[in-house]
Structure 1
Amino acid sequence: MKYLGSCHCGQVAFEVEGNLEGAMSCNCSMCQRKGALMWFVPRENLRVTRGDRAMASYTFNKHVIQHKFCPTCGIHPFGEGTDSSGKAMAAINARCLENVDLAVLNITQYDGRSR
């Protein structure tokens, strides 16, 4: 299924394809503060349709994830990194997707604070 997403002001927009059945809630210092629900997909399933050059990135700790955000409204629509086998992945913030009922998603808790 194809989903459309964006930041709050619309300067950053994207399409992502996949089967959204669940998301992850992480308690690391970054995710806990931004309140994201992350859905992981192969990076090739994400296509930025507006604002690719406008986005800013933030890294911290081990600097392995590029946390992308809109410099205008501050919303974090997704992050980019690699999985344990080195495959490029995108962590989509499900809260930035249109027409998604978050209440029906299976939310798993991840203890990023301890990593």
Structure 2
Amino acid sequence: MDYDFEHAAGACHCGAVKFRVKLSDGLRNGRRCTCSYCRMRGAVAVSAKLGDLTVVEGGERLSLYQFNTNTAKHYFCSRCGIYTHHQRRSNPNEYGVNVACLEGISPFDFEEVPVTDGIRHPSDGGREAGSELVGVLKFVPARPR
């Protein structure tokens, strides 16, 4: 998948929260994480610089969830519950943006999605940043019978 986005439009499921985002590297850096929260959430996230995401409607509907070190800030719609984006722990100058919220894109458009090690996060010490890849999630379409 090789999209180049100058700007993308996004929204939660119910449409109460709408945003515009400039993606740092298009969709080329899509990934999932193994931390306790992301493992349950299951979203594919792509990167945007902190100043490159603007909530254009429904900012008052966004709820914030933080845990553990309270560094990462996970935002979701208080009406429909959909995670829209989060400020990263690994790089607090970046947002991770839920691909499923971007107009015209599905997480199933990715053939492979790198999975990073959020359980043993580089910020916890003992590992260098960039050594966190633990696997690849592959999407294999069902074969017709």
User: Looking at CA atoms only, which structure, 1 or 2, has the larger radius of gyration?
Assistant: 2
Question: What is the identity, as a one-letter code, of the residue corresponding to 2:95?
Answer: A
Residue 107 of structure 1: aligned partner: 113
Out of 26, 49, 52, the position equivalent to 2:56 is 49
> CA 1:105–1:12 in 2, change beyond 3 Å: closer, same or farther?
farther
8 A Cα contact 1:7 1:73, kept in partner: yes
Aligned pairs, number: 113
Q: What is the CA-CA distance between 1:111 and the residue it aligns to?
A: 1.1
Question: What is the identity, as a one-letter code, of the residue corresponding to 1:107?
Answer: V
8 A Cα contact 1:23 1:105, kept in partner: no
- Residue 16 in structure 1 maps to residue 21 in structure 2: yes
8 A Cα contact 2:8 2:103, kept in partner: yes
Determine the C-alpha separation between the residues in 1 that align with 2:89 and 2:106: 27
Tell me the alpha carbon deviations over residues 26-55 of structure 1, each in whole angstroms, 9 at most, x when there is no partner: 011111111111111101111111111221
- After superposing on structure 2, the runs of 4+ consecutive aligned residues of structure 1 that deviate more than 3 Å are 81-84
Tell which deviates more after alignment, 97-106 or 44-53.
97-106
Question: What is the identity, as a one-letter code, of the residue corresponding to 2:115?
Answer: Q
8 A Cα contact 1:6 1:13, kept in partner: yes
% identical aligned pairs: 29
8 A Cα contact 1:82 1:88, kept in partner: no
8 A Cα contact 1:26 1:112, kept in partner: yes
Q: What is the CA-CA distance between 1:81 and the residue it aligns to?
A: 4.1
The higher relative CO (CA closer than 8 Å, separation ≥ 6) is in 1
Pick the structure with more strand per residue. 1
Question: What is the identity, as a one-letter code, of the residue corresponding to 1:89?
Answer: E
Question: What is the identity, as a one-letter code, of the residue corresponding to 2:58?
Answer: G
Correspondence list, 1:1-115, <5 A: 1-18=6-23, 19-81=26-88, 84=91, 88-102=93-107, 103-104=109-110, 106-115=112-121
Scaled by the length of structure 1, the TM-score of the pair is 0.87
Determine the C-alpha separation between the residues in 2 that align with 1:51 and 1:95: 18
Structure 2 gaps, min length 5: 1-5, 122-145
Structure 1 gaps, min length 5: none
Q: What is the CA-CA distance between 1:5 and the residue it aligns to?
A: 0.8
